Structure 1
Amino acid sequence: MPPRLYLDLHILQSVPPSNLNRDDAGTPKHALFGGARRARVSSQAWKRATRKAWAQEQPKADHATRTKRIASLLADTLKESEDLSDTDAARLATALLAPLGITPSQKKEEETAYLLFFGHRQLQGIAQLVQGRGKELLQFDDADLAKELADLKVDEELMQSHPLEVALFGRMVANRAALNVDASVQVAHALSTHAVETEFDYYTAVDDENERGETGAGMIGTVEFNSSTLYRYATVNIPHLHSNLGGTSATQQATAEAVEGFTTAFVKSMPTGHQNSFAHRTLPHLVIAALRTDQPINLVSAFEKPLHTRTGAAEKSAELLAGEAQAIKETWGSAPERVFATYSPMSEGPTRALTEAFGTSTSFPQLTSGLRESTLTWLRDGTL
């Protein structure tokens, strides 16, 4: 089996007037690239949207959560499983988590100092370490209780049976490196293929209960927005994902399904900033899924020179992306092992360029099922 296999996802997606991801002043995030101001959506925003989209399709028991409230969640679990009072469950939960050395918040006792990312099944695993012994253990004073729990492998429960979200996006625990999980996915900041300008929507709200012919608005304000055609990119280290999910022959199918699930969630997800104001949900014009055994390659250089057009940016952006992929193949001798493509009908020139670079278009369900089968074949046989 080749030691490396990466999935590169390249997406072109047009978004109407919107404010998907704003900064601390409420302005849509942007970046300078190629000397031009571009619309930008941060990787964090799209990763969260992806996580939420994936979770909607999975049983709650398979979900992960990123929270400062692991102690209170564990206490709730212990209260139910061990039939404890709120106070006793909180005491036992605190004692169970103490060996992890996770620093409590200085502001709120019931919270940790930072967010911890873990799965619901992992929390259940910690609770099961004391299954049936809860009331017995609470008879000890704090010092003896700590000794009784010292040999329990609480950290091991957080390092096995990772939910897909943790296996994909990783986990960092600043003062407990043993709990770190290296991410198997990298997500780039989405950038517009062209320059953008921020615009302002001036809005008013009328008081429906105005009486005696009163005029004027009950509230006025502004919201900033832009519109753009975005290039989105993510890459998945498939062997590392397999390792995070257990790394055995028994987890090969789960890894292949994870690749399919991540691809679906990443492609179809959308950050929700000001969603009620703009109803900005769209689907991409183009999705390219490339399996590579050399290295991940972000094709954003196709748009280093900002696109200028008055007749729409999607088709020209697709043509530039295809040209960049061909140039990398010819200049560096670097080509994917397999490519799956889904793109909307386009004019003759862009369609020809896309076909030459990525092959003919298939439906998106065919793309994701092809990825799943190719991943499974590679994990089992070492071939694509």
Structure 2
Amino acid sequence: MSRHLTINIISTIPYSNLNRDDSGTPKRVKQGGVLRGLHSSQSIKRGIRARYEEASGDISVRSGLLTEEVIRGALQLNSALDEKPVTKMAKDLIGKLTKKEASEGESARSIWLSQEELDTASQYIVDALSSNEEEAGPSGDFINQGKTGSMAITAFGRMFANAPQFNIEAALSVSPAVSTHAISIDTDYFSTGDDLREAQQETGATFLGIAQFTNGVFYRSVTIDKVQLKETWTAFGNPDSKANLEALVRSVVYGQPRGKENSTAPYTLPALVLAEEQRYRVAYDFERPVLAQGAGGFLESTVQELASQRKLSREFDPENFGPVESLAGTYGNLAEEFEGLEVSSLQGLIDDVVEWILDD
């Protein structure tokens, strides 16, 4: 059985600006000679993590203010402690992982810890101060080397600049989402109404501005390395670990960037989700932009192109693909395009993926 499984996802994204650059313009990339829409892998990871942690309650914290979190936790555990030595020990603990203090004009160095690790750090300070052992010096023992109980940290990995022995290799590889066809970026002119002026039957707006948006059919992929996941995630095998794995896979499917999500409500159900066991992790590409077919739209061409590439890939190297393969989605003709594959519900696909992860 192979250690990799790739989840391929095709989604239609209507009028939106889910991921923008520093000028507010939707991110884009030139590929195959045309302009494509782009959602960065970082923004997708953030979306997956947010949905997973909301669903599972398995919380982690990524911030440049974790020293304050450790201080607050220690004082909650023992309010009688003197805040000054608590602050010193917390700075020393976090400083072992990253730069202690940002230089003037610099932002604080962001690091990523699970709630369990934050609680352990706070308890370490309480125990040290209660036993007068604060002079023993800070320790990184509140973090396991190469392991964590956080699924999100397991999935996406982390790096500590000052303590590489505590780095974690990501168990998931996440591609950017790129439109399968050429896109245009359109400008929307908007104004902010003034209720009091309207009530007095006066004209004029409080604010005038412009925003930019795009739309398209996007393809992305996520590869799970189950060997790395099992090596890193300390909660593997716990009673609730299966439920957490299910929440992770579901979040992979629904995880999207979140820019202007409330003002555009752009999320749609995926047209296609294809999970494939693989010896070497590979995805598909749309280097040649697809063209609209029939009455219009790029979805039909996109699904057909992916189905064609899947067939050609197996003809090229059938040994790269394992027996686990699962297909789901809202596109109406999936069974016809992917001959020999049964179309299941999303839960059925999730069950297949989780069973593959759990299988030794």
Same fold (TM over 0.5): yes
Quick check: 1:122–1:160 contact (8 Å CA) kept in 2?
no
In structure 2, how many angstroms separate the alpha carbons of the residues matched to 1:87 and 1:103?
Answer: 16
Confirm whether residue 176 of structure 1 aligns to residue 163 of structure 2: yes
Once the two structures are superposed, the pairs formed by residues 257-276 of structure 1 within 5 Å of their partners are: 257-276=243-262
In structure 2, how many angstroms separate the alpha carbons of the residues matched to 1:240 and 1:257?
Answer: 19
When normalised by structure 2's length, the TM-score is 0.90
Specify the alignment match of 2:103 in structure 1: 106
Once the two structures are superposed, the pairs formed by residues 180-259 of structure 1 within 5 Å of their partners are: 180-210=167-197, 213-246=201-234, 251=237, 257-259=243-245
The amino acid of 1:14's aligned partner reads T
- Once the two structures are superposed, residues 87-135 of structure 1 have per-residue CA deviations (whole angstroms, 9 ceiling, x without a partner) of 3431332244454464321248xx9842111101012222333444424
- When residues 261 and 240 of structure 1 are mapped into structure 2, their CA distance, relative to the original with a 3 A threshold, is same
Specify the alignment match of 1:364 in structure 2: 346
- How far does residue 375 in structure 1 lie from its aligned partner after superposition? 2.2
Matched position secondary structure for 2:44: helix
Specify the alignment match of 1:308 in structure 2: 291
Quick check: 1:245–1:255 contact (8 Å CA) kept in 2?
no
- When residues 253 and 43 of structure 1 are mapped into structure 2, their CA distance, relative to the original with a 3 A threshold, is farther
When normalised by structure 1's length, the TM-score is 0.85
Specify the alignment match of 2:26 in structure 1: 28
In structure 2, how many angstroms separate the alpha carbons of the residues matched to 1:276 and 1:96?
Answer: 39
Specify the alignment match of 1:77 in structure 2: 73
Once the two structures are superposed, the pairs formed by residues 140-179 of structure 1 within 5 Å of their partners are: 145-146=134-135, 148-150=136-138, 152-154=139-141, 156-157=143-144, 159-179=146-166
Matched position secondary structure for 1:304: coil
Specify the alignment match of 1:382 in structure 2: none
Select which of 98, 108, 114 maps to 1:119: 114
Quick check: 2:269–2:330 contact (8 Å CA) kept in 1?
no
In structure 2, how many angstroms separate the alpha carbons of the residues matched to 1:320 and 1:262?
Answer: 28
- When residues 98 and 219 of structure 1 are mapped into structure 2, their CA distance, relative to the original with a 3 A threshold, is closer
Quick check: 2:47–2:256 contact (8 Å CA) kept in 1?
yes
In structure 1, how many angstroms separate the alpha carbons of the residues matched to 2:207 and 2:23?
Answer: 20
In structure 2, how many angstroms separate the alpha carbons of the residues matched to 1:175 and 1:251?
Answer: 31
- Once the two structures are superposed, residues 161-213 of structure 1 have per-residue CA deviations (whole angstroms, 9 ceiling, x without a partner) of 43111111000122321121111111111011110010011112221111654
Matched position secondary structure for 2:209: strand
In structure 2, how many angstroms separate the alpha carbons of the residues matched to 1:48 and 1:371?
Answer: 21
The amino acid of 2:159's aligned partner reads M
In structure 1, how many angstroms separate the alpha carbons of the residues matched to 2:228 and 2:145?
Answer: 18
Structure 1 residue runs of 5 or longer lacking an equivalent are 380-384
Confirm whether residue 92 of structure 1 aligns to residue 92 of structure 2: no
In structure 2, how many angstroms separate the alpha carbons of the residues matched to 1:278 and 1:346?
Answer: 26
- When residues 98 and 27 of structure 1 are mapped into structure 2, their CA distance, relative to the original with a 3 A threshold, is closer
Aligned length in residues = 355
Select which of 129, 138, 153 maps to 2:124: 129
- How far does residue 315 in structure 1 lie from its aligned partner after superposition? 2.0
In structure 1, how many angstroms separate the alpha carbons of the residues matched to 2:126 and 2:193?
Answer: 59
Specify the alignment match of 1:57 in structure 2: 55
Specify the alignment match of 1:354 in structure 2: 338
- How far does residue 54 in structure 1 lie from its aligned partner after superposition? 0.4
Quick check: 2:272–2:331 contact (8 Å CA) kept in 1?
no
- Once the two structures are superposed, residues 117-166 of structure 1 have per-residue CA deviations (whole angstroms, 9 ceiling, x without a partner) of 110101222233344442453xx8xxxx44x235x453644754431111
In structure 1, how many angstroms separate the alpha carbons of the residues matched to 2:40 and 2:94?
Answer: 33
Confirm whether residue 289 of structure 1 aligns to residue 289 of structure 2: no
- When residues 307 and 112 of structure 1 are mapped into structure 2, their CA distance, relative to the original with a 3 A threshold, is closer
Task: State the percentage of identical aligned residues.
Answer: 24
- When residues 153 and 276 of structure 1 are mapped into structure 2, their CA distance, relative to the original with a 3 A threshold, is closer
In structure 1, how many angstroms separate the alpha carbons of the residues matched to 2:155 and 2:200?
Answer: 60
- When residues 172 and 14 of structure 1 are mapped into structure 2, their CA distance, relative to the original with a 3 A threshold, is same
Structure 2 residue runs of 5 or longer lacking an equivalent are none
- How far does residue 214 in structure 1 lie from its aligned partner after superposition? 2.4
What RMSD in Å do the two structures reach over aligned CA positions? Answer: 2.5
Select which of 293, 318, 324 maps to 2:309: 324
In structure 2, how many angstroms separate the alpha carbons of the residues matched to 1:212 and 1:100?
Answer: 60
In structure 2, how many angstroms separate the alpha carbons of the residues matched to 1:290 and 1:70?
Answer: 39
In structure 1, how many angstroms separate the alpha carbons of the residues matched to 2:97 and 2:287?
Answer: 46
